Structure 1
Amino acid sequence: MQIIILGAGQVGTGMARSLSAEDFDITVVDTDPERLRELQEKLDIRTVLGHAAHPETLIRAGIEDADLLIALTNSDETNMVACQVAYSLFNTPTKVARVRASDYLAHPELFNRENTPIDVLISPEGLVTDHIQRLIDYPGALQVLDFADGRAQLVGTRAFHDGPLVGHELRALRDKLPSGVDARVAAIFRNDEPIIPEGDTVIEVDDTVFFLAARNDIPVVMRELRRMSEPGHRILLAGGGNIGASLARRLERSHHVKLIERDPVRAERIAEDLDTAIVLVGDCADEDLLHEEGIDETDVYCALTNDDEANILSSMLAKRMGADKVITLINRPAYVDLVESDRIDVAVSPQQVTIGALLTHIRKGHMVRVHSLRRGAAEAIEAVAHGTPGQSKVVGKRIEEIDLPPATTIGGIIRGEEVIIAHHDVVIETDDHVVLFVADQRSIRRVERLFAVEAVFV
């Protein structure tokens, strides 16, 4: 597959890095020669210097033979025009664009073949807002990922020393769960190394444990993995940008929400758009302000400004002053590993959230949803099993009979409205949605081939 990525910013670079290790022909376009030089030194890709929406630039990038155009520049207008040019002049099959401005997103009729022909619209702010809301709904969760329109969820959590399963074999989990509740541990990361879970695998303190269960069963399972409090209702948001304002609107109906915004004009505009949430003008790193607003009684503190350093410092301050859970938005990937500790509970990378959404539209083999995990080192995939037993490598087979690639596990199956946890004797049927955890990205191609339907000639 020939893919052109427009924009060598954080998301564009992350996409190029994620795909370059696989069998893709990648070309990155940007106006910054230094960025392109650094990319070429690190990755086996082509680069083109030029304006992303100019036809001549796109021709030099190979648009005439491209299967997919991904427009990820910092300009919504450039992304939109590039997709229009690719459609009108070159009939590019699939066009993906990142669009941030809420004014554009409020008019979805703009994005169709008659107007601006974008096949897949990516809104990073909307994706990140959804991600953070799920983290608030599940105390103790590091990641919450939806499959089959939310009927099943994969949740990552850290095992603490007082967790009920720490020091016990995984097979004990099934015995501890109430009747009618089932779950499967899909993967364990210990010291950043993946461990494929078996029945006799023992969970250790500080392991990151990913498990799959039906959405309604998630709280029950989490209580077995760690001591879990009820979802918090006192929320303090720092930063009134698109994410902060959108999150406040969503949460104010069921939570007590306060939002801190430094810009008085912006704060007043946000306040006019909210019903019950309180908007405060001030600095989120002001210790006196946090004290006055009861940070020690706050269930969740979210630092959501555009400044990584401000987010990190204010989060560490909030945690030290007594906030129960701290969620920090961090744009620089290098910072994420450094800050997740006792001081910051969850670091959210918009880059990784966005890349996961983009990968869904790149993977082959009837894959309908892809989530990027562990800074791109692993993926959680929802694939649909098509075909008959004679055409498919998975349909009609028990899970124990499937030739899975190394470091790959099947967590569960969604069959209609039913969520079936993947035990060894479960048989996969046509149209099942199969949730897989792939801990080694080198195995992605084999997973894609596993779910490809083969022609049968008689």
Structure 2
Amino acid sequence: MHIVIMGCGRVGSTLARILEKRGHTVAVIDVNTDAFRRLGPDFTGQTVKGVGFDREVLLESGIKDADAFAAVSSGDNSNIIAARVVRETFEVHNVVARIYDPGRAEVYERLGIPTVATVRWTADQVMRRLLPAGSEPQWRDPSGSVRLMEVHVHQGWVGSRVDRIEQAAQTRIPFIFRIGTGMVPKDSTVFQDGDLLYVAVENDRLAAVEAILSAPPAPE
């Protein structure tokens, strides 16, 4: 895939490096050429000076062949304008814009521009750490009966195999977040200190699952 990123701040540069490591071609747009230093010496993608809603700048970045576009500059207006130009003029459908104002984010979502509201997202992530029990789900199915949750796990479970945890909680563990990377566990995977554990659970069993995993395991 060819992906164009507008904004070479910490978010944009991190995205660019990750995407390139995964084998995608990447073009990064920024008005400040000094910002490209954040990409590091190993970055082999394209860098383009300019604003991400300028037609010539977008053409230089290869937008006609792009499969996706991310607008992650520091300006809400610039991000939204660029996202709309790319979607409506160049017909790139996989577009996302970072927005600092949650109110604006909701408006643009209704206009069909997927957004990440930075303040809302950050607040939600902090809440998950402060109030691990009963926090907002990562995902809900359309019927609202099943959710994917990050759950608090008691230190006593460290060293336990995933199949033991699943059996005790009577729920499935679709993935674990470990040292900055997601992984799909096997039955034999051992839960380690620092792991973030995600469970797929029916709504009516959520309280029971949280109660089991927030307490130490029963002696075998």
Checking the alignment, whether the CA contact within 8 Å between 2:102 and 2:120 is kept in structure 1 is: no
Q: After TM superposition, where is structure 1 displaced by more than 6 Å over at least 4 residues in a row?
A: 189-195
Alignment of 1:327-346 (within 5 A): none
- The one of 191, 203, 206 aligned to 1:218: 206
Show the counterpart of 1:51. Answer: 51
CA deviation string 1:101-123 (max 9, x = no partner) = 355346x27963xxxxx532222
Aligned equivalent of 1:184, options 162, 172, 177? 172
Select the residue among 127, 147, 151 that pairs with 1:152: 147
Tell me the SS of whatever aligns to 2:41.
helix
SS of 1:77's partner is: helix
**C-alpha separation in 2, matches of 1:158 and 1:191:** 16
DSSP-derived class of the 1:42 partner: coil
For residue 198 of structure 1, what is the aligned residue in structure 2?
A: 187
The alignment-based identity, stated in percent, is: 24
Q: Partner of 1:41: helix, strand, or coil?
A: coil
- Whole-Å separation in 1 of the counterparts to 2:36 and 2:127: 35
Cα deviation code 1:354-410 (max 9, x no counterpart) = xxxxxxxxxxxxxxxxxxxxxxxxxxxxxxxxxxxxxxxxxxxxxxxxxxxxxxxxx
Give the AA of the match of 1:210. Answer: L
Higher mean alpha-carbon deviation, 129-138 vs 50-59, is at 129-138
Q: State how 1:362-401 maps to structure 2 within 5 Å.
A: none
Q: Taking structure 1 as reference, are residues 146 and 87 closer, same or farther at Cα in structure 2, changes over 3 Å only? A: closer
Deviations 1:72-128 (A, max 9, x none): 11111111222343345433334322222355346x27963xxxxx53222222233
Partner in structure 2 of residue 91 of structure 1: 91
Q: Is the Cα–Cα contact under 8 Å of residues 97 and 116 in structure 2 kept in the other structure?
A: yes
State the one-letter code of the partner of 2:83.
C
**Partner-residue secondary structure (3-state), 1:210:** strand
Using CA pairs under 8 Å that are at least 6 residues apart, name the structure with larger relative contact order, 1 or 2.
Answer: 2
Q: Report the equivalent of 2:114.
A: 120
Displacement of 1:3 after TM fit? 1.3
The 8 Å contact of residues 188 and 207 in structure 1, kept in 2 or not, is answered as no
Residue 56 (structure 1) shift? 1.9
CA positional deviation for 1:4 = 0.7
Amino acid at match of 2:120: G
Q: Check the 8 A contact 2:30/2:51 in 1, yes or no.
A: yes
Cα shift readout 1:316-358 (whole Å, capped 9, x = no counterpart)? xxxxxxxxxxxxxxxxxxxxxxxxxxxxxxxxxxxxxxxxxxx
Q: Structure 1 residues 175, 84: closer, same or farther in 2, change over 3 A?
A: closer
**Which residue is 2:62 aligned to?**
62
Residue correspondences, number: 212
Aligned to 2:3: 3
**Cα separation, 2, equivalents of 1:184 and 1:209:** 14
- Runs (5+) with no aligned partner, structure 1: 113-117, 229-458
Letter in 2 for 1:148: D
Q: Which has the larger radius of gyration?
A: 1
Pick aligned residue for 2:215 from 220, 227, 235: 227
Matched with 1:236 is none
* Alignment partners' CA distance in 2, 1:110 and 1:188: 29
More helix by share: 2
Q: Is the 8 A contact 2:138 2:148 kept in 1?
A: yes
Secondary structure of the corresponding residue to residue 205 of structure 2: helix
User: Which amino acid counterpart does residue 213 of structure 1 have in structure 2?
Assistant: A
Indicate which of 116, 121, 129 corresponds to 2:123.
129
What do you get for the CA RMSD once the two structures are aligned? 3.6
Instruction: Give the partner amino acid of 2:27.
Output: T
Deviation (angstroms), 1:5: 0.5
CA contact (8 A) 1:27 1:47 kept: yes
Distance 2:109 2:160 in 1: 55
Q: Aligned partner of 2:139: which letter?
A: D
Distance 1:208 1:216, change over 3 A: farther
How far 1:45 sits from its partner (Å)? 1.7
- Equivalent AA in structure 2 for residue 22 of structure 1: R
In 1, distance between residues paired with 2:137 and 2:209?
A: 13
Letter in 1 for 2:132: Y
| Counterpart AA for 1:212 | V
Residues of 1 paired with 2:6 and 2:15: CA distance? 11
